Amino acid sequence: MGFLGQLFLVLLVCEAAGSSVPRARSAIVGGQDAPEGSWLWMAYLKIAGEIKACGGSLLNEEWVLTAAHCVKNITRESSYVYLGVHSVKYLREQQAFNRTMSHIVVHPKYEKYDNDIALIKLNPPVYFTPLVKKIDLPEPKDVFNETSECWVTGWGNVGENIPLAGNSNLQELEVPILNQTVCLDKNPKLTSNMICAGFLQGGKDTCQGDSGGPLVCLSDKKFVQVGITGSGEGCAKEDKPGYYIRVASYLDFIKKTINSNP
């Protein structure tokens, strides 16, 4: 066999061997493994009697912010909030906080899509560590748009009805804030209490299991929570970007809830 024939044979063998190697599947849909020790406010909600899980964010030592549809009418006493978690496959092996829920406060005007926000009081409180920190809320003056650096995180599905596999590490995805007019054209249900973020071409998005998790954006060189992952229609579909509850619309509700439930 001549040199070219030998080279062709080597290439065929390499291609065959490479095709047998399993590729890592990213989650959120189109995301990637977050570095360990990042997104330290991220909470994992394990709901009693449900296959589903949700995300949340730590506001202080006692309170976690999430979506109302995650926690409305759940069995509070046997549902749990985990903090300081990277892999949800190895919850027991990690030095993570595991807390029950002493109170759940759902927005009084919550509907299927609008006002989809709730607060969970932890029992007992947590304390801050190198792996557990709080997320700041935005200031009323803050403006976020297409030029902002924004990220979503979660342990949700990698596609519709396709769960995160492997080590089930926390996933991250950078997403652009989209123009509200463009989003209204794609979804007339969008209200002023919602933010639209993601990719009109599809392929990257939050998915089932990411609900309640935070959309965070940089403001004055620090991240603040701008949105809460809501219950959208499908995952990563063309012309169907992600919809998030606008946290700035609920600053009074959040502060009043925390201050009135000592």
Catalytic residues: 69, 116, 211
Alpha-carbon gap, residue 205 to 182, rounded angstroms: 17
Phi, psi of 172, rounded to the nearest 5 degrees = -135, 150
In the block, residue with structure tokens 């902002």: 148
Q: Which of 173, 174, 175, 177 is nearest to 164 (CA)?
A: 173
